[in-house]
Amino acid sequence: MKRLITTIVAIFTFLIVAFIVELHPTSRLNPTPTVGILQTMSHPALDQIHKGIIQGLKEEGYINHKNIKIDFQNAQGDQSNLKSMSDQFQNQNAAVTIGIATPAVQSLANESGNTPVIMGAVSDPIGTSLVKSMRHPGGKVTGVQDKQPVGVQLDLIRTIMPKIKTIGVIYTSSDDSSAAEYREFKNLAEKHHITIRPYTITSTNDIEQVAQTMVNKVKAVYVPTDNTVASGIATLLKATNAEKIPVFPAADTMIKPGGLATRSVSQFDMGILTGKMAAQVLKGKKPEDMPVRRVTNYETVINEKTAQNLGITIPDSVIKAAQKKGRIIK
């Protein structure tokens, strides 16, 4: 008799629990959503974007180990790593994936299935075939465009070096975003009758030899948003400093190591915006309906010590701009 009563109670309890779960589907087993973050390689600019992504997610209420699981992977510049890490996110059924820099985003976008992909800093989303249009991406990819104010950066160079006639541009030939910035810079410079000499590399191993060749033929160097050059910026600066050639990088994170000056958008702010867009996907938005966004505010950043070492006088107007909105590194 006791066994019968126990069995009846167990069945009754099971039915009650099942009824409650049916009424409240959210009480069912619901795994914490995985946010996969894939970074192309390590250097300060991309690291700042990563930090910004975490902050952007947090500002939207998503915190690692609380209501999301963040799986962060760094390919360290290895294409095969990008593929295997993208596959890993796919196997985990990630709710959304985020690529930091163009190669990472392209790898994630090439995965089969419809897992949403958020771009973290891609200079040319249309040219790289990641989206159909900026307003209507039309697929599983959207995110943040790394749109540096190239025209403003050229104006800064001309303000600091008003007699400049020849500028070298060093960039990675396989980096679509970097190549796009080079072309934009070249077109703008030629309108001011400035000769642009391009120097391409395939890896950081090329920088030393290419830089030594370049410094004998130009009066200044412009570095687009280029992950490979950023990783080897110390090697580039060693060659340019020896010949008193200033380097004007697109990204502000290359100023502290020894770049002379820039006017650029914040990598950290781009990361925050990327994180916020990923949060929108977690809340139910579809990438195809989310316009590509970009950070429009820029800052003036100067390395005072570099200017002194190169014997270059920074105009007062540039110094005031950095004091008002930017930084002066001493």
In this structure, are residues 95 and 282 in contact, taking their beta carbons and an 8 Å threshold?
A: yes
Helix (H) or strand (E) holding 262: strand 261-264
Token pair belonging to 7: 């069995």
- 26 & 39 share domain: no
pLDDT in tens, 66-114: 999 999 999 998 889 999 999 999 999 999 999 999 999 999 999 988 9
The dihedral through the CA atoms of 152, 156, 157, 161 has a sign that is positive
The answer to whether position 166 is within a domain reads: yes
The answer to whether position 174 is within a domain reads: yes
Which range scores top for mean pLDDT: 8-12, 294-298, 307-311?
A: 307-311
| Confidence at residue 25, expressed as pLDDT on a 0 to 100 scale | 42
- 206 & 310 share domain: yes
Question: Of how many residues is the chain composed?
Answer: 330
| Confidence at residue 28, expressed as pLDDT on a 0 to 100 scale | 42
- 140 & 95 share domain: yes
The answer to whether position 111 is within a domain reads: yes
Nearest-5° angle of CA 8, CA 14, CA 19? 125
- 53 & 170 share domain: no
The answer to whether position 171 is within a domain reads: yes
- 17 & 130 share domain: no
- 164 & 212 share domain: yes
The answer to whether position 82 is within a domain reads: yes
How far apart (Å, rounded) are the C-alpha atoms in residues 126 and 105? 13
Token pair belonging to 14: 């099971």
What strand order describes the sheet that includes 247-249?
Answer: 195-201, 166-172, 220-223, 247-249
What domain count does the chain have?
3
Mean pLDDT taken over the chain: 91
pLDDT in tens, 256-269: 999 999 999 999 99
Looking at the DSSP bridge assignments, the partners of residue 117 are 97, 141
- 14 & 115 share domain: no
| Confidence at residue 112, expressed as pLDDT on a 0 to 100 scale | 86
In this structure, are residues 263 and 300 in contact, taking their beta carbons and an 8 Å threshold?
A: yes
The answer to whether position 294 is within a domain reads: no
CATH number at residue 223: 3.40.50.2300
Helix (H) or strand (E) holding 55: helix 44-59
Lowest-pLDDT choice from 23-32, 118-127, 128-137: 23-32
| Confidence at residue 310, expressed as pLDDT on a 0 to 100 scale | 97
Query: Taking residues 300-328, what's their average pLDDT?
Result: 97
The pairing of beta strand 69-74 with beta strand 166-172:
unpaired
How far apart (Å, rounded) are the C-alpha atoms in residues 100 and 77? 12
- 140 & 275 share domain: yes
Helix (H) or strand (E) holding 233: helix 233-242
Among all chains, which residue has been given the structure tokens 């820099």?
Answer: 101
- 285 & 249 share domain: no
Nearest to 200 by CA among 226, 218, 219, 220: 226
Structural domain range at position 279: 34-145+267-289
The answer to whether position 117 is within a domain reads: yes
Q: What is the DSSP letter of 135?
A: S
In this structure, are residues 36 and 98 in contact, taking their beta carbons and an 8 Å threshold?
A: yes
- 121 & 56 share domain: yes
Q: What is the CA radius of gyration of the chain?
A: 25
- 128 & 65 share domain: yes
- 158 & 254 share domain: yes
How far apart (Å, rounded) are the C-alpha atoms in residues 232 and 33? 36
The answer to whether position 114 is within a domain reads: yes
